Amino acid sequence: MKTLYNPEFVERLFDDMSASYNRMNYITSFGFSKIWRRQCVQHLELRPGSVVVDLMTGMGECWPYILHKKCLPAQLIALDFSTEMIRRATVQKAKFPSASILILKENVFGNSIEDGMADCVISGFGLKTFDEAQLSSLATEMYRILRPGGTFSMIDVSVPKNRLLRLLYMFYLKHVIPVLGSIFLGNPETYRMLGIYTEAFGNARKVEAIFRQHHFEVEYLEFFGGCASGIKGRKPA
């Protein structure tokens, strides 16, 4: 269990996964990952000229939904600690020439973002590789970087409550995905981790409780029968 949440292990995992991450993320969510990201962004109260922080940004998968021409943020700060994910995010940045994007290659638990500078914080699929102590540190960091009244929204793949859906989805994640990983990418081990992390994560209920303890206003969210879950809310004004 210790290794599972060890930052060096997680960083290596995403370095190894980076080349195929987008395709596999799409497959593992039955094509829903893009819809879920868009919905996650919609739960923020984005206004033109805001400062938006995308934590665990990966290679910028949430950016197309944040960087809307009609509602362009003054700045998007995108943070991740994986060298490979950040390298790909830097390539992705060129696709948004009219946006101001600051990419930080940093650990979220020791980041250089200034106190109270974020109007909104988002994180797509970055929760499941954290244990409860790390989720608590994440809440502390988000409370520090959000301005009073600022909003947040986060989502991750989850274990559905419905028995049949749970059996099907977990079988798919734990047994089908590693086979697809080995056929198409020659790497079943990396993708086996997805099922392991998802099973240990369960759903975002514990994240909701932790964020409430940290004085956030929080609402629990479910997507597609609980195949993904998350939280949204705000730092009290």
Contacts to ligand SAM by CB under 6 A: 7, 10-11, 14, 25, 37, 56-58, 61-62, 79-82, 85, 107-109, 124-126, 129
Q: How far apart, in whole angstroms, are the C-alpha atoms of residue 153 and residue 184?
A: 33
Q: How many residues are present in the chain?
A: 237
Q: How far apart, in whole angstroms, are the C-alpha atoms of residue 212 and residue 111?
A: 22
Structure tokens at 50: 């805001």
- Shortest gap between Cβ of 171 and ligand SAM (angstroms)? 21
Q: Euclidean distance between the first and final Cα of the chain, in Å?
A: 38
Q: Contact at 8 Å (CB) between 121 and 150?
A: yes
Helix (H, G, I), strand (E, B) or coil at 147: strand
Q: For residues 6 and 182, which CB has a smaller minimum distance to ligand SAM in the complex? A: 6
Q: For residues 109 and 171, which CB has a smaller minimum distance to ligand SAM in the complex? A: 109
All residues at 6 or more sequence positions from 8 whose CB lies less than 8 Å from its CB, including other chains? none
Q: For residues 201 and 211, which CB has a smaller minimum distance to ligand SAM in the complex? A: 201
Nearest Cα to Cα of residue 195 among 181, 166, 169, 174: 174
Residue nearest to ligand SAM (CB): 58
- Shortest gap between Cβ of 85 and ligand SAM (angstroms)? 4
Q: For residues 38 and 49, which CB has a smaller minimum distance to ligand SAM in the complex? A: 38
Q: For residues 56 and 231, which CB has a smaller minimum distance to ligand SAM in the complex? A: 56
- Shortest gap between Cβ of 82 and ligand SAM (angstroms)? 3
- Shortest gap between Cβ of 213 and ligand SAM (angstroms)? 20
